Chains A and B, each alone.
Chain A
Amino acid sequence: MDSSAANVSYKRNEKKILNKTNVMLYLMILPPLLLYYVFHYIPMPGIMLAFQRYGISGFKYWVGVENFQYIFGTPFFWRAFRNNWVFVFFSYAFVTPAPILFALLLNEIRVKWYKKTVQTISTLPNFVTWVVIAGIFIQLLSPSRGYVNYIVQFFGGEPIYFLSKPALFPWLFTFMRIWKGVGYSSIIYLAALAGVDPQLYEAAVIDGAGRLRQTWHVTLPGIRNTIVVLIVLSFSHVLSGLFEPIFVLKNAYIESTAEILDTYIFELGITRGKYYLATAIGLFKSTISMMLLFFANFLSKRVTEDGRSIL
Chain B
Amino acid sequence: MLKRSLGEKVFNVFNLIGFFLFTLLMLIPITFVIKTSLDVSPVGELQLSLLPQEPSLLFYRLVIQDESVWRPFMNSIIVTVLGTSFSMLINALGAYTLSKKELPGSRFFIYFLIIIPMLFGGGIVPSYLLIRALGLIDTLPVLFVPNMASGWNMILIRNYYWSIPQSLGESARIDGAQEFTVFFKIILPLSKPVLSAIALFTGVGYWNTFMAAVLYIRDSRKYTFPVKLRELIILGGDSEKNFEEMMMQLGLDPAEHYLTIEGLSSAMMIVSMVPIVLIYPYLQKYFAKGIMVGSIKG
**B-side binding surface: helix, strand, loop or mixed?**
helix
The answer to whether B26 touches A150, judged by C-beta atoms less than 8 angstroms apart, is no
Q: Is A124 an interface residue (CB 8 A)?
A: yes
B residues 163-199 in Cβ contact with A at 8 Å: 178-180, 183
The answer to whether A129 touches B122, judged by C-beta atoms less than 8 angstroms apart, is no
In Å, the complex CA distance between A282 and B230 comes to: 25
> Contact string, A119-139, partner B, CB cutoff 8 A, digits 1/0?
011111101111110111111
Q: Which of A43, A117, A187, A290 contacts B288 (CB 8 A)?
A: A187
Closest chain A residue, CB of each to CB of B200: A127
The answer to whether B284 touches A40, judged by C-beta atoms less than 8 angstroms apart, is no
The answer to whether A132 touches B273, judged by C-beta atoms less than 8 angstroms apart, is yes
Q: Is A256 an interface residue (CB 8 A)?
A: no
Closest chain B residue, CB of each to CB of A137: B29
Give the residues in chain A near B207, CB-CB below 8 Å: 129
**Closest approach, in angstroms, between the C-beta of B293 and any C-beta of chain A?**
7
The answer to whether B234 touches A144, judged by C-beta atoms less than 8 angstroms apart, is no
B residues 1-21 in Cβ contact with A at 8 Å: 5, 7-8, 11-12, 15-16, 18-19
Q: Is B118 an interface residue (CB 8 A)?
A: yes
In Å, the complex CA distance between A20 and B297 comes to: 33
Give the residues in chain A near B211, CB-CB below 8 Å: 243-244, 247
The answer to whether A24 touches B233, judged by C-beta atoms less than 8 angstroms apart, is no
In Å, the complex CA distance between A308 and B297 comes to: 9
A residues 288-302 in Cβ contact with B at 8 Å: 290, 293
Give the residues in chain B near A13, CB-CB below 8 Å: none
Q: Is B255 an interface residue (CB 8 A)?
A: no
In Å, the complex CA distance between A39 and B68 comes to: 31
Give the residues in chain B near A144, CB-CB below 8 Å: 43, 46
Q: Is A217 an interface residue (CB 8 A)?
A: no
In Å, the complex CA distance between A127 and B16 comes to: 26
> Contact string, A20-56, partner B, CB cutoff 8 A, digits 1/0?
1110111011011101101110111111010000000
**A-side binding surface: helix, strand, loop or mixed?**
helix
Q: Is A84 an interface residue (CB 8 A)?
A: no
> Contact string, A75-118, partner B, CB cutoff 8 A, digits 1/0?
00000000000000000000000000000011011010010011
**Closest approach, in angstroms, between the C-beta of A166 and any C-beta of chain B?**
18
User: Considering only CB atoms and an 8 Å cut-off, how many residues of chain B contact the other chain?
Assistant: 95
In Å, the complex CA distance between A128 and B30 comes to: 12
The answer to whether B90 touches A35, judged by C-beta atoms less than 8 angstroms apart, is yes
Q: Which of B46, B178, B280, B298 contacts A310 (CB 8 A)?
A: B298
The answer to whether A269 touches B128, judged by C-beta atoms less than 8 angstroms apart, is yes
The answer to whether A22 touches B103, judged by C-beta atoms less than 8 angstroms apart, is yes
The answer to whether B122 touches A247, judged by C-beta atoms less than 8 angstroms apart, is no
In Å, the complex CA distance between A261 and B291 comes to: 32
The answer to whether A145 touches B125, judged by C-beta atoms less than 8 angstroms apart, is no
The answer to whether B118 touches A36, judged by C-beta atoms less than 8 angstroms apart, is no
> Contact string, B89-119, partner A, CB cutoff 8 A, digits 1/0?
0110110111010011100010011010111
**Closest approach, in angstroms, between the C-beta of B87 and any C-beta of chain A?**
10
In Å, the complex CA distance between A43 and B23 comes to: 46
The answer to whether B130 touches A43, judged by C-beta atoms less than 8 angstroms apart, is yes
* Stretch from B54-62, B77-85, B145-153, B241-249 at the A interface: B145-153
The answer to whether B93 touches A31, judged by C-beta atoms less than 8 angstroms apart, is yes
Q: Is B292 an interface residue (CB 8 A)?
A: yes
Give the residues in chain B near A21, CB-CB below 8 Å: 178-179
Q: What are the nearest 7 A-B pairs in CB distance?
A: A46-B126, A282-B123, A43-B122, A32-B149, A129-B208, A29-B97, A43-B126
Would you give 19 A-B contacts (Cβ < 8 Å), ordered by A? A29-B93, A31-B94, A32-B154, A42-B130, A46-B125, A108-B11, A109-B19, A124-B276, A127-B280, A131-B210, A136-B32, A210-B7, A244-B210, A247-B211, A247-B214, A248-B234, A251-B234, A293-B118, A308-B297
